[in-house]
Homo-oligomer: A and B are copies of this chain.
Amino acid sequence: MTDAPEIFIDISTAIMCVAGDDLLCRMVEPQDDANNHRPRLPFGPFMPDQHRTMEIGLRHWVREQVGVDLGHVEQLYTFADQGRQRDFEAPDTHTVSVGYLALANQTARGSGGGASLWRNIYSFFPWEDWRDGRPACLDESIIPALDTWLTAAPEAQERVRLAFGRDRDQWDEEFVLERYEILYEAGLTEESYLEGRNPEPLYQGIPGTSLQLDHRRILATALGRLRGKFKYRPVIFDLMAPQFTLTQLQKTAEAILGVRLHKQNFRRMVEKSNFLDSTGKMEKSRGRPAELFRFRHGDRADRPLSGLRVSSSRPRRG
């Protein structure tokens, strides 16, 4: 077993942050040196002799490449399939990719080395943002393209139906990865085209910026995980500034879920959850000033670690 390919591990991190209405992800922009004009996540090899754990390794690469202070950090998934992140210069090598999700708040946004940028997450997944109603790109390009693909791959019918729903209400916001994987397999992403999965650049009608290597896949995993997790663990507070108003909290929840929430009910839920301590202070901006709250940490909350069981608002018109 001497000529088995040597294994390398890449650690890539999706760092999320919120600003106003936007859920942002920290990218490393391409240096425009011809080869690779797509942005990427901060990433680097896992070096067991220098990093006792992968999380230590990840913090090293993040510090070096984007200099952001991380709050909550969690491992997402390990992708090992051949060909999704192959290094063509080292064919006798197999690189496995471990994706992480990290959360930061605005105060920790840092600026750090090199060209880098916070990008709205929905610029990579326009079809995931339903805050202003059903995204137009679904009916304009994605669904028609998938229908075409399904005539060639009818066995995928059920999977597509589950991921993209049939009519309204059938959309499960957590299936971010499933949807991205389907688009990838259907050849509707630039990634699949560049990796030679299909001869035609079918992706060109579909909006959404593509990323290097398998980073958009990792990012899809991150968004899906975040959407699921914040419903049952209070991770949302890692995205908030130390003090915040209920509206800011709600905007953050909406940005994560890609969905509009009912204001009064959100407030009621959050108050009952006992997560918040009120600072006496007020924030004034436009209309009536809003009270500033802060997160009440572990020891005093009664439901130790549940999340925000949000209920979305479906303004009645149909």
Copies of this chain assembled into the complex = 2
Please tell me the size bucket of the interface on A: 20 to 34
Q: Which residue of B lies closest to A53 (CB)?
A: B81
With A52-B81, A52-B82, A161-B299 already in contact, the answer to whether A9 and B96 are too (CB < 8 A) is: yes
Expressed in whole angstroms, the minimum distance between the Cβ of A29 and any Cβ of chain B is 27
Q: Is A162 a contact partner of B49 (Cβ separation < 8 A)? A: no
In residues 146-198 of chain A, which contact B (Cβ within 8 Å)?
158, 161-162, 170, 172
Contact residues in B for A172 (Cβ distance below 8 Å): 304-305
Is A269 an interface residue, CB under 8 A from the partner? no
Contact residues in B for A80 (Cβ distance below 8 Å): 9, 46, 48, 53-54, 98
Q: Is B4 a contact partner of A158 (Cβ separation < 8 A)? A: no
Q: Mask for A36-59, Cβ within 8 A of B = 1, else 0?
A: 000000000011110011100000
Q: Is B162 a contact partner of A304 (Cβ separation < 8 A)? A: yes
Residue of A7, A9, A82 most packed against chain B (CB within 10 A): A7
Q: Is A158 a contact partner of B82 (Cβ separation < 8 A)? A: no
Q: Mask for A76-118, Cβ within 8 A of B = 1, else 0?
A: 0110111000000000001010100000000000000000000
CA distance A4 to B47 in the complex (A): 8
Q: Mask for A291-318, Cβ within 8 A of B = 1, else 0?
A: 0000000110000110000000000000
Expressed in whole angstroms, the minimum distance between the Cβ of A7 and any Cβ of chain B is 5
Q: Is A158 a contact partner of B299 (Cβ separation < 8 A)? A: yes
Is A209 an interface residue, CB under 8 A from the partner? no
Contact residues in B for A8 (Cβ distance below 8 Å): 7
Is A5 an interface residue, CB under 8 A from the partner? yes
In residues 227-254 of chain A, which contact B (Cβ within 8 Å)?
228, 232
Expressed in whole angstroms, the minimum distance between the Cβ of A271 and any Cβ of chain B is 21
